[in-house]
Structure 1
Amino acid sequence: MRILLCGATGFIGRHLHHALAQAGHTVIPASTRGQPGGLAVDFVWDTQPAVWLPRLQGVDAVVNAVGVLRDQAARPMWAIHAETPHALFDACAQAGIRRVVHVSALGLEGNPTQYARSKLQAEAQLMTLTAGGALEGVIVRPSVVFGRGGASSELFMMLARSPLWLLPAPVVRTRIQPVAVTDLAALVTVLVSMPAPPPATISAVGRQALTIAAFLALLRQRMGHGRAWQATLPDWLTSLSARLGDLLPISPWCSETLALLSHDNVAPVTAVEQALGRSPMSPDQFPLSDTPS
């Protein structure tokens, strides 16, 4: 198949590109920077279906893995997460492209953040087109995605190496179900090419649910380190640290992250097992060395 991959230069996108190519597909990478043999797209301004229609000529399926964690003037979150995917999905329906895989996120319902609301807006549009028979869309909702090269993963690794942990309260009490980025890429590869219509939504989770603090302890143990000394930040200091993180665009810790971590991010793993024909990796199996990019 010829597959248009939006967000091909991002952390998840690089692994999707690798997995799709390994499966024998021809990948047309699309990113803001553009790539040799790919397309230069702008998820801020490409908010009309007419802009996308020429790019979809000869394309069999589309995978959208574009996402941002911070709302910035140069990269407004609502345009990137909602308006441009809306135009892309409409263009796919007009061009007769059936299979569209959209990588969203788990745990968005009821979350007041702009991240969650903008992601849900795109999900709603894809669901509407799928329910109406215009597309065979599938929304992939991953929990925390782990792999070397990911900003959150590198933060986890850095914290795990430290002998002293001053952890925000949500990190201590909230459960996640981390999924290896290679398992996520394998899941998307299956969904994009399965002959039967895929499920409308699938939660991309790993085998084990655990708190972030327990995940850090597991990573630290696998590195061969002893137990870290741990203390929990009071809520006011947690909120302050998130607001300070808003001022540091290189850090994945910010107010949006804090809000997303205020609720459990878990789901049954059955659907992933059925799609892959195997169990996804558990955290004690995650590779800690570099993974393909």
Structure 2
Amino acid sequence: MKILLCGARGFVGSHLQRALQRAGHQVIGGVSSVRAGESDRIAVDYTHDVHVADWLPRVRDMDVVINAVGILRSTGSRPITAVHTDTPKALFDACAQTGVPRVIQISALGIEHSATQYAQTKLAAEQHLQALVAAGRLSATILRPSIVFGKGGASSALFFNLARLPVALLPGPVIDAQVQPVAVTDLADAVVNLLSTHPQPPGPLACVGPQAVPLGDFIASLRQQLGHRPAKVLRLPDALTSLSALLGDLVSASPWSSEAVDLLKQPNVAAPAAFEALLGRSGVHHGRLLAENWS
């Protein structure tokens, strides 16, 4: 199949591209800028390509369009509403107009229960896509992964580095957050399998590992996988957690913010059966993630 993969340079997108190419598909990477010699990539701008006309020539003749673009926070140069909502809606409308047979949206687990800007902008794109499907204008699948773990992921690197500390001072929301880490290679394999699945799975599909775990315990598991003794974990007082989040709000490049705290308070777990059915096997357990996803 000929596939347009938006976000091909990102953590998830780069793994998707490799898996799709190994499966024999022709992947055209939609990226922010095309480097010399990159004949298999086209430039897309998720901050400005908010009109259907911007996408019509790009999606024409594609068999599949995959949207794997996402940001955690809004900035002046990358407004989150444009990146998560306005541009994807224009992309989906262009797919419907040109008759693209299939669309895959990489979304996020738990967004329907969160009032954060991150969640609401993601959800708005989902709802628009679902409306197009309900109207019979295209076929689409929405994938909602929990925390995606693997080499090259910013959050994965953060958890890995925290796991190496013999003494860690962590905010309560980080220690207590309920997550179900999914290997990035499992997510990529699921997308490959999805392309040969008929009919498409109904509704958004939760992409999760085999077992839910508090985030603090997941970090401890990574430390154990590194061969270290258990760390001494200290809980940051709630008042200092709130203050640190407010300070993070002032630094747009910081992943820590009031919204991050709110997202961590939302359980990020689901039953793994549907995802495992798509994979055709069990996913990688969080206790094996370093061995199987950190090389």
Deviations 1:106-136 (A, max 9, x none): 0112311110110000000011011111111
**Partner letter of residue 20 of structure 1?**
L
2:95 is aligned with 1:95? no
SS of residue matched to 1:286: helix
2:6 is aligned with 1:3? no
- The residue that corresponds to 2:198 in the other structure is 195
Deviation for aligned residue 1:190? 1.6
From 258, 262, 274, give the equivalent of 2:265. 262
SS of residue matched to 1:87: helix
Q: TM-score normalised to the size of structure 2?
A: 0.95
Cα distance in 1 for residues equivalent to 2:41 and 2:179:
35
Q: How does 1:25-174 map to 2 (within 5 A)?
A: 25-34=25-34, 36=38, 37-174=40-177
From 253, 257, 269, give the equivalent of 2:256. 253
Cα distance in 2 for residues equivalent to 1:190 and 1:246:
40
Deviations 1:175-219 (A, max 9, x none): 100000000111112223423233331000001110011001111
From 267, 277, 280, give the equivalent of 1:277. 280
From 226, 230, 234, give the equivalent of 1:227. 230
Deviation for aligned residue 1:290? 6.7
Deviation for aligned residue 1:239? 1.7
2:11–2:153 contact (8 Å) kept in structure 1: yes
- The residue that corresponds to 1:181 in the other structure is 184
Range that drifts further, 159-168 or 255-264: 255-264
**Partner letter of residue 270 of structure 1?**
A
Range that drifts further, 140-149 or 196-205: 196-205
Cα distance in 2 for residues equivalent to 1:27 and 1:173:
39
Cα distance in 1 for residues equivalent to 2:2 and 2:196:
11
2:183–2:293 contact (8 Å) kept in structure 1: no
Range that drifts further, 13-22 or 283-292: 283-292
- The residue that corresponds to 1:238 in the other structure is 241
Deviations 1:205-243 (A, max 9, x none): 001110011001111011111111111112221122223
**Partner letter of residue 11 of structure 1?**
F
2:164–2:223 contact (8 Å) kept in structure 1: yes
Q: TM-score normalised to the size of structure 1?
A: 0.95
2:290 is aligned with 1:287? yes
Cα distance in 1 for residues equivalent to 2:63 and 2:23:
15
Cα distance in 1 for residues equivalent to 2:291 and 2:162:
14
1:148–1:288 contact (8 Å) kept in structure 2: no
2:172–2:241 contact (8 Å) kept in structure 1: yes
**Partner letter of residue 220 of structure 1?**
R
**Partner letter of residue 227 of structure 1?**
P
Q: Percent identity of the aligned residues? A: 51
2:222–2:290 contact (8 Å) kept in structure 1: no
**Partner letter of residue 168 of structure 2?**
W
SS of residue matched to 2:29: strand
2:21 is aligned with 1:18? no
Cα distance in 2 for residues equivalent to 1:16 and 1:145:
13
Cα distance in 2 for residues equivalent to 1:107 and 1:272:
16
Deviation for aligned residue 1:250? 4.7
SS of residue matched to 1:139: strand
Deviation for aligned residue 1:138? 0.8
2:3–2:64 contact (8 Å) kept in structure 1: yes
**Partner letter of residue 253 of structure 1?**
W
